[in-house]
Homo-oligomer: A and B are copies of this chain.
């Protein structure tokens, strides 16, 4: 009966299969059947093993980790987050650490080094071989978020005078430890990049064909100092499996593979989300960020935005007596500010996202402005019309609020038109301006724009009230 269920589940869903396997592993661990545990683990995907190890009791983790073969151990280690990596480093011997360091790809090493505390970094550095250590130091020197800081050193290089047979022999010989073998890089004797050859090219050509004749010299490449966002855009635009990274002399110094770019894209999108919600971006996942760190990431902007609301206070204070006389006007302040804020947020989000996808550039400022101006006119007029009807039907008639006169409804409705137009224009222009002067557009997002539109919304409202209602 159980077997039938297993069979059915296995045919349906990978995640269900995996959960089932984890249950079996946990049972084996409880019963201390370490040999069976080891056998199953060794056959699993390294990401799943890492997940399993992260879920079990922290005290048992190093013991189970040490049962893994050295290749599996390194792969699993690379899949850990930095906290788990630190725990493991602190519980293994120097020689075990050396073995793992030997197996790790350079990009994973650099990733880890950037996050580990200084004393652990020192120990890890001691465990690395001298030439490896030199390379790590070089990579750590590239600016954060640059192509140099995320590239890896493990690639297959070929020479243009080799033929297909020799190339395949070389891949067979050195391919085992390379991050990818499917793209091979053709270099000169002084390491300058000349072309690329894919394994597909090699397989589809005769054994005696010379690399020079089949290599693609029209190579898409990145520079060590390029921003990681640019690199990921290139990999995504050109559908690449890996991109070569060259230094200023066009010497090939590393490669970036597509799987690393996926991580970069997730990171960059998360950063934009955080900035747009007025938070300091954090490297750690939410569930692993301590409370005080979350507080620290959020409080500066909240403070700034709270203090800058002093402007709205001052404007209202200026009209206090008039407002006391025409108290009905107060009740529409939240709606007007909210509508302005939401209109601005829509425009700024659309533009910020378009900039980060490469769809909009600073030179398009006028086109964006003209587009938003028309959208805001249409949106403002339709909102004003609905509001005018709503105030007359709901506030005047349904709620029989006698202070809502036709002229009050007109004041509020006309204000809406100008507020929406102002908000959309500012919301779309500020991010472009930021990009132009080299500031991240995401910082110019909703909360900042809300604060500006809040202030101007009130000024528009009171100005129109002064004309129509002699406020």
Taking A14-B220, A298-B375 as known contacts, 18 extra A-B pairs with beta carbons closer than 8 A to each other, sorted by chain A number, are A11-B248, A13-B223, A175-B204, A181-B200, A235-B262, A258-B262, A262-B262, A262-B265, A277-B348, A286-B351, A295-B375, A298-B343, A302-B342, A306-B416, A309-B338, A316-B330, A316-B333, A320-B328
Chain A interface residue count, CB cutoff 8 Å, equals 129
Option from B200, B303, B345, B379 in Cβ contact (under 8 Å) with A383 = B303
A443 interface residue per 8 A CB criterion: no
A204 to B367, CA, bound (A): 55
A22 interface residue per 8 A CB criterion: no
Closest residue on chain B to residue A376 by CB atoms: B295
The 5 closest A-B pairs by CB, nearest first: A309-B335, A277-B349, A316-B331, A239-B259, A312-B334
Known A-B contacts A200-B181, A204-B175; the reply to A47 vs B238 at CB < 8 A is: yes
A118 interface residue per 8 A CB criterion: no
- Distance from A330 Cβ to chain B, minimum over Cβ atoms (Å): 6
Known A-B contacts A181-B203, A302-B339, A313-B335; the reply to A357 vs B11 at CB < 8 A is: no
A interface vs B, CB < 8 Å?
A: 11-14, 43-45, 47, 168, 171-172, 175-176, 181-182, 199-200, 203-204, 218, 220-223, 234-241, 248-250, 258-259, 261-263, 265-266, 269-270, 272-274, 276-279, 285-287, 291-292, 294-295, 298-299, 301-303, 305-307, 309-310, 312-314, 316-317, 320-321, 323-325, 327-328, 330-335, 337-339, 341-343, 345-346, 348-354, 357, 359-360, 364, 367, 371, 374-375, 378-379, 382-383, 386-387, 390, 394-395, 399, 401, 403, 416, 420, 446-447, 450-451, 454, 458
